[in-house]
Amino acid sequence: MSFKPRIKILIADDVVELRSNVRRMLSGSEAFQIVGEANDGEETLKLARELSPYIILMDINMPKLDGLKVTEMLSKERPDIQVIIMSIQGEQEYLRRAMKAGAKDFLTKPFSGTELSETIQNVFNSWIKDRPEYLQEANRAQVLTFFATKGGVGKTTLATNLAVSLAKRGKKTLLIDGSLQFGDVGITLNLTPKKNLYHIVEKDDLTISTIERNITKHSSGLDLILAPHEPALAEAIKPNHIKLIIDALVTTYQFIIIDTPPKIAEMELAFLDKTDFVMLLATLEISSLKNTKICLKTFSDISFDTAKIKLILNKDIPNVGISPKDIEEGLQIPMYAVVPMDSETAQKALNTGEPFVGKFPASSLARAVEDIATKLLPNDAPPKQPDGKSSTMLKIKDLLFGT
């Protein structure tokens, strides 16, 4: 079984009813995925840049910027996005101008569901015909697996907070709890695993709808596939399920982050097989370093591409006899990031079920995770850094001085 990537569509029309009609007409088919709706021309441009749809269904008369202007701007800036104009009878002159501006086809309102889906499919097919590589590369999520062969080094903590940080920056992000027996991503984010990986595979009908039905949403905008609610159910999940699920979702998301248990077996190899980067975690303990070294040796034995490894030192603390530099030299790979030890922040966040990137944004821990997110997004402007004062301090200052 394999999944065809779905055609990502943005609907741009200032009439809400038209947008919901289009959504309804396309909802029956797994070939399409509506990634967003825009109410005016400026919003269309903004969402086109952020969401990279393959197709925009574009109304002509929209507030702020009209559909013709947006089509013209996008055909220069984003020739990879195909515009289909939706117009009413009698707009023939506009239509001619729209095609000149770069639109690929048009639909005259009111149109049927069949007309709509055929037009989209035709425009998409003729564009993709000469670019088979496009779906494989340009619009694939970056898959990052947090990995370590020692327990308790902070895989779940960093995977969860990084995923929330990316989601808060507007990146479409999915976090998969690959710690199938004792996954604690759910508890870390105060979510109950009512829908989880087990429900995706239990009936042996692995479709995109089954997967999507079992995705849990977090208030930050992050999507999650949680681990089964009982350890015994993990048995039902096979490495091939994991590969199929990632294949099915890889063109839907910008980032897929995977949390793993501290071992290398068949399941972890399935995750690694689909991974672009392994976030390999170590701490400043001799046992962690020994295990990291063994892990690197295993990677080399299975010919895993070492360029995919990003070494992260977690729980960094000065004066313990080993420094980050010693680790780099000992393991002979460059350090990608260093995250400081900050037990108070880590525990408080964990115990309240709120990620520290949201609850304690000024903490050194949150800043270190935000730095990792910024590194992963070299073309984005970094978010505004909060000042170093804690929110409690600010509240006290507010109270005393009214500042």
Ligand X SMILES: Nc1ncnc2c1ncn2[C@@H]1O[C@H](COP(=O)(O)OP(=O)(O)OP(=O)(O)O)[C@@H](O)[C@H]1O
Beta carbon of residue 348, minimum distance to ligand X (angstroms, whole number)? 9
What φ, ψ does residue 107 adopt, rounded to 5°? -125, 135
Give the binding range for Mg ion (CB under 5 A) out of 106-114, 150-158, 222-230, 321-329. Answer: 150-158
Give the binding range for ligand X (CB under 6 A) out of 29-37, 191-199, 334-342, 353-361. Answer: 334-342
Binds 27: which of ligand X, Mg ion, none (CB < 5-8 Å by kind): none
Smallest CA-to-CA distance from 339 within 363, 307, 366, 315 is with 315
Query: Which residue, 59 or 316, has its beta carbon nearer to ligand X?
Result: 316
Q: Is 339 in the site for ligand X (CB under 6 A)?
A: yes
Owner of token pair 């069949």: 114
Number of Cβ within a 10 Å radius of residue 166: 28
Binds 53: which of ligand X, Mg ion, none (CB < 5-8 Å by kind): none
Binds 228: which of ligand X, Mg ion, none (CB < 5-8 Å by kind): none
DSSP assignment of 21-59, as one string? HHHHHHHT-TTEEEEEEESSHHHHHHHHHHH--SEEEEE
Read off the amino acid at residue 150: K
Give the binding range for Mg ion (CB under 5 A) out of 12-20, 155-163, 339-347, 375-383. Answer: 155-163
With the C-alpha atoms ordered 19, 21, 23, 26, is the resulting torsion angle positive or negative?
A: negative
Beta carbon of residue 392, minimum distance to ligand X (angstroms, whole number)? 20
Contact status, residue 45 vs residue 70, Cβ threshold 8 Å:
yes
Binds 120: which of Mg ion, ligand X, none (CB < 5-8 Å by kind): none
Number of Cβ within a 10 Å radius of residue 107: 18
In the chain, what is the straight-line distance between the N-terminal and C-terminal CA atoms, in Å? 62
From 142, 145, 156, 291, residue interacting with Mg ion (rule: CB under 5 A): 156
Question: Which CA distances in Å does 226 have to 3, 155, 304, 325, 342?
Answer: 21, 15, 27, 36, 26
Q: Per-residue x/- mask for ligand X, residues 204 to 243, rule CB under 6 A?
A: ----------------------------------------
Stretch (H or E) spanning 223: strand 223-225
Q: Is 21 in the site for ligand X (CB under 6 A)?
A: no
Q: CA–CA separation, 305 vs 300, rounded Å?
A: 8
Give the binding range for ligand X (CB under 6 A) out of 235-243, 305-313, 340-348, 370-378. Answer: 340-348
How many residues sit in the footprint of ligand X (CB under 6 A)?
21
Smallest CA-to-CA distance from 374 within 363, 382, 364 is with 382
Query: Which residue, 98 or 225, has its beta carbon nearer to ligand X?
Result: 225
Contact status, residue 86 vs residue 106, Cβ threshold 8 Å:
yes
Q: Is 367 in the site for ligand X (CB under 6 A)?
A: no
From 262, 324, 358, 386, residue interacting with ligand X (rule: CB under 6 A): 262
Binds 347: which of ligand X, Mg ion, none (CB < 5-8 Å by kind): ligand X
345-364: which residues touch ligand X (CB under 6 A)? 346-347, 350
Binds 342: which of Mg ion, ligand X, none (CB < 5-8 Å by kind): ligand X
124-153: which residues touch ligand X (CB under 6 A)? 148, 151-153
Question: Which CA distances in Å does 45 have to 42, 52, 67, 99, 127?
Answer: 5, 10, 10, 18, 21
Q: Is 343 in the site for ligand X (CB under 6 A)?
A: yes
Beta carbon of residue 362, minimum distance to ligand X (angstroms, whole number)? 15
Contact status, residue 328 vs residue 335, Cβ threshold 8 Å:
yes
Q: Which residue ranges make up the site for ligand X (CB under 6 A)?
A: 148, 151-157, 179, 261-262, 314-315, 339, 341-343, 346-347, 350, 365
**Residues binding Mg ion (CB under 5 A):** 155-156
